[in-house]
């Protein structure tokens, strides 16, 4: 091996020692950040479409988020986007322009990323051409219909907040005896098992024997709210379809199909809820896609029925 030679002036007296390499100081990401710039890490991750802000805070507290290779232990940390940020092994890219999709969720799919019981999820069926998305609210296993998806977690949070009063409309087929007068009592709000629900508007469309079709409008969207509200007046829901969320309708979307909302429509409705640096370009084309296989998912009970749910009265499902 060639001997390394030192260059530069010779030192008299004690022989010169090689300067030790200084180890790079580890950044203490747990200390308070410089709050004069940047934004909270959970908000930033939500805007990147990783998950909702609350879910991102959980990821941080569980030690799965790294900034410049240092593990975060608290959500009280700000980033500018110039850092190297990882969630697990995945490097998080800076936020892209906000996008929104309408998705016709079939019955039989879970609205979650993974299910511990191994049941199929919507993300198992969605096309791989979609970017990382989060859902705006949820639909339970047997509920079908309109589900909004976005790559902007902050937009999702804004659309979910009851304070913003976006109306969710459902069509429910329910078994039992009911009158419009009984349904009108839901407008006063109700409490079921200690949970209070705000005013709900329910309209009886038609009755065939003991089956009823009821249109339900609400703004909270709490867990199983429609089913619990109708059970409180003596009805048992056996089919539930969400047809509207805010200004968007299910229309003629087939089960399993996804259609992106045009950028100009997104801005016209929610420009104040989208960070200026994420405003989309209005001339970008959009398209409609089916599920990963190009067919309605096997879990759907609607795959062979060729029905559509349209709030304008066309193609309503038969009881």
The superfamily in CATH containing domain 100-289 is Pseudouridine synthase (3.30.2350.10)
* CA atoms of 292 and 299, how far apart (whole Å): 13
- Domain 39-91 matching CATH 1.10.287.110: the answer reads no
Q: Which pLDDT does position 308 carry in this prediction?
A: 37
* Cα atoms in the 13 Å half-sphere on the side-chain side of 187: 9
pLDDT digits (tens, 9 = 90+) for 96-125: 899 999 999 999 999 988 888 889 999 999
Q: Is the pLDDT of residue 79 over 70?
A: yes
* CA atoms of 243 and 249, how far apart (whole Å): 6
Burial class from Cβ neighbours inside 10 Å (0-12, 13-18, 19+) for residue 18 reads exposed
Q: Which pLDDT does position 55 carry in this prediction?
A: 87
15 band by pLDDT with thresholds 50, 70 and 90 = low
pLDDT digits (tens, 9 = 90+) for 256-284: 999 999 999 999 999 999 988 889 888 77
pLDDT digits (tens, 9 = 90+) for 84-97: 999 999 898 888 89
Q: Which pLDDT does position 51 carry in this prediction?
A: 82
Residues catalogued as catalytic: 140
Boundaries of every domain in the chain: 39-91, 100-289
pLDDT digits (tens, 9 = 90+) for 283-292: 777 766 766 5
């Amino acid at each position: 091996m060639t001997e390394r030679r030192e260059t530069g002036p010779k030192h008299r007296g004690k022989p010169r020692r090689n300067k030790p390499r200084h180890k790079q100081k580890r950044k203490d990401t747990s200390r308070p950040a410089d709050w004069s710039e940047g934004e909270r890490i959970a908000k930033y991750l939500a805007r990147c479409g990783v998950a909702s802000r609350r879910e991102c805070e959980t990821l941080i507290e569980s030690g799965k988020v790294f900034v410049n290779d240092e593990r975060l232990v608290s959500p009280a940390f700000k980033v500018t986007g110039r850092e190297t940020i990882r969630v697990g092994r995945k490097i998080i890219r800076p936020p892209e322009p906000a996008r929104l999709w309408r998705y016709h969720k079939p019955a039989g799919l879970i609205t979650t990323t993974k299910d511990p019981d191994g049941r199929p999820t919507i993300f198992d069926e969605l096309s791989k051409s979609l970017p990382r998305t989060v859902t705006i609210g949820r639909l339970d296993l047997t509920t079908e219909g309109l589900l909004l998806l976005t790559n902007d977690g902050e937009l999702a949070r804004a659309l979910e907040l009851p304070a913003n009063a976006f109306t969710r409309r459902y069509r429910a087929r329910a078994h039992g005896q009911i009158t419009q007068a009984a349904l009108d009592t839901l407008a006063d709000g109700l409490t079921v098992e200690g949970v209070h629900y705000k005013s709900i508007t329910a309209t009886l469309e038609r009755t065939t024997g003991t089956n009823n079709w009821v249109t339900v409008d609400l703004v909270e969207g709490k867990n199983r709210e429609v089913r619990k509200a109708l059970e409180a007046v003596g009805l048992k829901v056996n089919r539930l379809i969400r047809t509207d969320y805010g200004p968007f309708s299910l229309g003629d979307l087939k089960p399993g199909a996804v259609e992106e909302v045009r950028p100009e429509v997104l801005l016209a409705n929610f420009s104040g809820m989208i960070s200026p640096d994420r405003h989309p370009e209005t001339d970008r084309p959009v398209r409609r896609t089916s599920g990963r296989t190009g067919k309605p998912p096997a879990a759907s009970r609607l795959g062979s029925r060729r029905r559509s749910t349209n709030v304008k009265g066309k193609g309503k499902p038969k009881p």
